[in-house]
Amino acid sequence: MPSIKELSKKANLLLEKFSISKPPVHIKEIVKGLGIDIRSEDLGESVSGFIVFKNETPVICVNKNDGIERKRFTIAHELCHFLFHRSSKDALFISKVVHFRDELSSLGELNKEKEANAFAAALLMPELFISESIKKLPNNMSDEDAIKKLAAEFKVSEVAMTYRLSNLKLLY
């Protein structure tokens, strides 16, 4: 299992590879650049997305009913499953291999789901980008307003930004 440090390092390498140096991170550009298709489907209320391997092409499917911020996080989450959680190359060719992003994964109670959430956060909200953005905020801005502004800048939910800032010890 990859450590948080390894997940962050891989996220940073992807940002470098795709010449992304400021928010928002163009997650679809990264995923498509890695040869992964993205589809938007009605997945019901409890599933945000999944990755399935059809023929030789990995496909990330996101719930078309979710907001843009949720879709972006789901795509990044599923990308982690693609990069770190395939047991073998053969898994690419088995259409039954599916990783779901659902309510359980949102809670982050399973190790692979925790890893996927941590990777998605590191990719969409890189520590360096956050630090640079925080420096530009007015000193008298409330935490709540800062979170709203940062979430909008990074195109993530306020909840995701709050967790990220807390995990980076930038919010107490």
| Nearest one of 27, 2, 59 to 123, comparing CA atoms | 27
| Distance (Å) of CA 132 to CA 35, 141, 144, 147, 159 | 31, 16, 18, 14, 20
pLDDT of residue 103: 53
pLDDT along the chain (172 residues), means of 10: 88 97 98 96 88 84 94 95 69 36 51 89 97 94 95 97 94 67
Contacts 24+ apart (CB under 8 A), 71-76: 71/40, 72/24, 72/27, 72/124, 72/155, 72/156, 73/120, 73/124, 73/156, 73/157, 73/160, 74/48, 74/49, 74/101, 75/27, 75/28, 75/31, 75/38, 75/49, 76/27, 76/119, 76/120, 76/123, 76/124
Exposed/middle/buried for residue 40 (C-beta within 10 Å: 0-12, 13-18, 19+): middle
pLDDT of residue 46: 84
pLDDT of residue 45: 84
In CATH, the number for domain 4-124 is 1.10.10
Give one DSSP letter per residue of 23-40, joined into a string: SSP-HHHHHHHTT-EEEE
Domain boundaries, the chain: 4-124
pTM value? Answer: 0.86
pLDDT of residue 87: 58
pLDDT of residue 85: 76
How far apart, in whole angstroms, are the C-alpha atoms of residue 82 and residue 127?
A: 23
How far apart, in whole angstroms, are the C-alpha atoms of residue 26 and residue 23?
A: 8
